[in-house]
């Protein structure tokens, strides 16, 4: 899974989108990629402007707003001035079309932020893009520590580790490969992590607890084999723990001082799997979602 030469960043002029743009520009500077900004207008607004003879004025205003956003986010780390793409329609659909037009290898976008329970809640647009994109999507929550930035025209990273959440399933190679490429690009350690699921039982449960379905040492051996298969031998650290998936993976992220988590969207149906969603919810860091096998 090669690093992207073109990155798409949707901008809806929210603080979350501006934060995602900072990440996109920093990543572009680190890997030498080109950035395209896409803004999607409501089709009713476009129709009204067109009927009033102001279609060009509307586009000019949106372009000016994009340039104003760029002026607040130092972009000198990108080797090329970001391109601008202005579309009209359903945002999720238009973002995916824009990604095809610019040949993007990565989409970087913000999430909607925190729900009432303090958990990650995807906006409908982000959920649509993550679910249906054929390329990796980096979801940047509003509330995580800012580990990527552009300072004095230089892209900087304070990411401690890249953690790949490995499920020991057919998507593992895609997850580990993507995580390994980004770990090398960021010059940070790579951790392949797996959680052997423990089924919790309440104190009043009258029966014996269910037997563990996975052996920790067996899982560690499979992770070591995966590391060798993606040419990460000698580079990847292995972290296998027993517990509930979301909480334990979150603990791994904290213990490794991770600044980037890589998960699989899941195989089969083109949707974000429940396990991946729970992991993203608890980790609270920028998460790269890759398509499964």
Domain ranges of the chain: 1-158, 159-293
Distance CA 46, CA 243 (A): 51
- For residue 233, the model assigns a pLDDT of 45
For the chain (length 293 residues), average pLDDT per consecutive 10?
91 88 89 92 77 76 87 67 88 94 95 46 75 91 73 78 90 92 91 83 62 78 89 75 87 91 73 63 82 69
Distance CA 184, CA 173 (A): 16
CATH homologous superfamily of 1-158 equals: HUPs (3.40.50.620)
Burial of 126 (0-12, 13-18, 19+ CB in 10 A): buried
- For residue 170, the model assigns a pLDDT of 87
Phi, psi of 277 (to 5 degrees): -65, -40
Spell out the residues 6+ positions from residue 277 whose beta carbon is closer than 8 angstroms to its own.
none
- For residue 49, the model assigns a pLDDT of 74
Cβ–Cβ < 8 Å for 155, 26: yes
Find the farthest-apart pair of alpha carbons in the chain and give their distance in angstroms, rounded: 74
- For residue 235, the model assigns a pLDDT of 76
pTM for the structure as a whole: 0.86
Cβ–Cβ < 8 Å for 289, 265: yes
- For residue 58, the model assigns a pLDDT of 79
Cβ–Cβ < 8 Å for 283, 255: no
Q: First-to-last CA distance in the chain?
A: 12
- For residue 79, the model assigns a pLDDT of 57
Any idea how long the chain is? 293
Class (C level, CATH) for 159-293:
alpha beta
Question: Do 1-158 and 159-293 show the same overall fold?
Answer: yes
- For residue 80, the model assigns a pLDDT of 62
């Amino acid at each position: 899974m090669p690093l992207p030469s073109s990155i798409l960043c949707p901008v809806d002029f929210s603080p979350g989108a501006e934060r995602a743009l900072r990440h996109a520009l920093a990543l572009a500077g680190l890997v030498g990629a080109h950035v395209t900004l896409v803004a999607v207008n409501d089709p009713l607004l476009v129709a009204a402007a067109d009927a009033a003879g102001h279609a060009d004025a509307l586009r000019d205003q949106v372009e000016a707003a994009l340039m104003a956003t760029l002026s607040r986010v130092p972009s000198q780390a990108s080797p090329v001035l970001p391109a601008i793409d202005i579309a009209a329609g359903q945002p999720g659909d238009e973002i995916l079309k824009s990604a095809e037009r610019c040949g993007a290898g990565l989409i970087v976008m913000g999430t909607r932020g925190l729900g009432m329970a303090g958990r990650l809640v995807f906006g409908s647009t982000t959920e649509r893009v993550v679910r249906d994109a054929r390329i990796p999507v980096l979801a940047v929550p509003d509330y995580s520590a800012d580990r990527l930035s552009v300072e004095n025209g230089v892209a900087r990273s304070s990411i401690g580790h890249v953690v790949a959440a490995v499920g020991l399933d057919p998507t593992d190679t895609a997850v580990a490969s993507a995580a390994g490429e980004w770990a090398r690009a960021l010059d940070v350690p790579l951790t392949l992590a797996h959680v052997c699921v423990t089924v919790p039982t309440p104190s009043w449960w009258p029966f014996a607890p269910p037997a563990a379905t996975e052996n920790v040492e067996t899982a560690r051996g499979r992770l070591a084999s995966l590391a060798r298969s993606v040419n990460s031998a000698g580079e990847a650290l292995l972290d296998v723990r027993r517990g509930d998936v979301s909480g334990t993976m979150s603990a791994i992220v904290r213990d490794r001082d991770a600044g980037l988590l890589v998960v699989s969207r899941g195989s089969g149906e083109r949707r974000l799997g429940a396990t991946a969603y729970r992991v993203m919810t608890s980790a609270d860091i920028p998460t790269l979602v890759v398509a499964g096998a």
